[in-house]
Amino acid sequence: MEKTKTSSGLLKILFWIAIASIVVGLALPVVFNGVPIAELLIAILALAVAITIPILLWLRRPIYTAVWIAAYVIVYGVLSWCGVYLEGNFGGSDNRRVWYPAYCGETYWSRGGRQKCSLRPSAWFFLPVVILDRAVIHRTHFDSY
């Protein structure tokens, strides 16, 4: 009984965060560092979902968590298999080639005229494995071009 109460409480919190982010994003088309607030809120929501789902599944049955994590890693593996290094300038002579899984990264031009790269809002769902992937397999390349 306690597990069901906790999981339903977490689901309610996640639901209201989603509703609030949609309302704020639609009502206030505000920009933060060149990124619309709606995109920022979607990115944060995607990261929260990626972390919350395994926890909620663990409260139901641990086998569901194992299946979820396996599916999550397999989908990320396919995206990573098709990924690319994107080039960007992060200030001065700080030129980098940063790994992004397929459909997860984008390049843009900053106000200072430098090409930069970042995660797309929907790709924040995979942020935990992107960080692990960059630390272990696809390291960032620092070079001068």
Question: Of the ranges 11-20, 30-39, 82-91, 115-124, which one carries the lowest mean pLDDT score?
Answer: 30-39
Residue 99: its H or E element: strand 95-100
The confidence score (pLDDT) of residue 14 equals 67
pTM: 0.69
CA distance readout (Å), 28 to 23, 33, 119, 124, 132: 8, 15, 22, 22, 34
| Alpha-carbon gap, residue 122 to 99, rounded angstroms | 16
Summary mean pLDDT of the chain? 78
The confidence score (pLDDT) of residue 78 equals 93
Cβ contacts of residue 71 below 8 Å, gap of 6+? none
Write down the H helix ranges in the chain: 2-27, 37-60, 62-81, 127-136
Q: What is the pLDDT of residues 103-113, one digit of tens each?
A: 888 888 877 78
Q: What is the pLDDT of residues 18-54, one digit of tens each?
A: 666 666 555 555 555 566 666 777 777 788 888 888 8
Angle at 80 between CA 75 and CA 84, to 5 degrees: 145
Q: What is the mean pLDDT of residues 90-117?
A: 82
Q: Residue 115 is encoded by which pair of tokens?
A: 């090409």
Task: Pick the more confident residue, 137 or 39.
Answer: 137
Q: What percent of the chain shows pLDDT beyond 90? A: 11
Q: Residue 82 is encoded by which pair of tokens?
A: 């098709």
Task: Pick the more confident residue, 59 or 128.
Answer: 128
CA distance readout (Å), 21 to 7, 17, 52, 93, 115: 21, 6, 17, 37, 29
Question: Of the ranges 27-31, 35-39, 77-81, 119-123, which one carries the lowest mean pLDDT score?
Answer: 27-31
The confidence score (pLDDT) of residue 1 equals 46
The confidence score (pLDDT) of residue 75 equals 92
Using the structure block, give the residue that is written with the tokens 């090409």.
115
